[in-house]
Amino acid sequence: MVYSHLWEGAILPTWFAEDVVGSVGTLFSSVTVLLCLLPAIDALRRQYARQTADSDPKIVAVQGAGGFLTRADFDLGAIVGRGAFAFVQLATRKGCPGHAPLALKISPKREVIRLRRVEHVQNERRILTEITHPFIISLVSTFQDETHIFMLMEYADGGDLRSLIDEEDRLSSDSAQVYSAELCLALQYLHGLQILHRDLKPENVLIDSEGCVKLADFGFAKILNASDKAWSLCGTPEYLAPEIILSRGHGKGVDWWALGILIFEMLAGYTPFCNGSPADVYKRVLAEAIDYPSHFDVAASDLIAQLLARDEVGRLGCQSDGAESVKRHMWYTRIDWEELVCGKDVSSYPMGATSNATLHQSESDSEADIPYNSSARSSSEGVFRGFQSDGAESVKRHMWYTRIDWEELVCGKDVSSYPMRATSNVTLHQSESDSEADIPYNSSARSSSDGVFRGF
């Protein structure tokens, strides 16, 4: 026998050394293949998570003409929200009057371009397409026509937190605990994906029929690596963290600061630094001590003080364990985080909102004020390319429809086995009280936005 290899002072036979080298090579090749497959495995994981999520069906989606959804496929109802350049209307799939409505966000392309919100709209679509969480609003599908872009989302029929605070003057400690705990879980999920929301405020916190929060409006959201910082001055003055105001660069800490402001507002009925002009608000944010109302308990005041630490390094939620440090705070002693994240026993916590919310709509909010004039064409073809998505197929794949057998449904079989819910008694709150001037749905003006909205 020939010996030619030495290992740790021992003489090894040639055949043994060759076997070892061969095994190492095989292992290295297997690891390489596994690393190459990781992106595909992650994509399958995301798809499986969406398909297996527990949820009840809301509407029946039927393939639109030509395989794509259009505005003509829906009956539009009351306007339930307005923003700087968009408005939200109730939308029910034509031919399905007995099913609950969705929310259709309509944005005029010309206004989006004029207000330089193209990137914001693109980011919102991209992020909402990739995330699924029980306390974050779900995007069902997107589509467009020549003058407008449309985002079809689930409808939270309990109104928004702004309307609730205004109606109640201030919320009970129990309600504020539950709402803020659900938002904490939503932020923990987003931050785990390196997503900053950057616009947490009552207008962007919707309430569903079960009394749970739905974080909405991802126009200012940003995907940011853990080691990077964002520099944009964005958000609402009363909720801006000091590092945004001072242009020092910011990260996930801005969301925890905004949560502290929101908790204070829920308990007090007003924000801690409210004062006239934005410049005055910024001065108070940077220098003024917080004046806590006498009815605040010690635990709530301590949590708010830690969330509103002006130094981001010492701010609660900004440490290495992130949201866990917030969840461990004594103010949340009564919260069962596992039950909360699974959507269990939420009804056991007293809530300030119910599914019997009343409709708050002024006469000027009627559909007639926003005419859908499809006769006028714009030159924005290609601007929102990709926003059409895959039409009704994206609706059919949504987690709401996990239990639907589409082949049986389209053949008219077993439809009676799916419980229907009438919507004639649905009542609403109007959201987004920070609306600006009315934005009529008027497509008569043409835009020169070719290529700007590519990806829609």
**Catalytic residue numbers, as ranges:** 199
CA 281 distance to own-chain centroid:
27
**Residue 238: DSSP 8-state:** G
Characterize the bridge pairing of strands 10-13 and 74-82. unpaired
Q: How many residues does the chain have?
A: 456
**8 Å CB contact between 443 and 373:** yes
Q: Which of 199, 216, 114, 202 lies closest to 155, judged by CA?
A: 216
Element (H, E) at 21: helix 14-52
Beta bridge partners of 12: 5
Nearest to 91 by CA among 142, 19, 25: 142
Q: Which residues pair with 196 in a beta bridge?
A: 222
Of residues 444, 447, 450, 443, the one with CA closest to residue 150 = 443
The CA distance from 57 to 59, in Å, is 6
* 398 burial type by CB count under 10 A (0-12 exposed, 13-18 middle, 19+ buried): buried
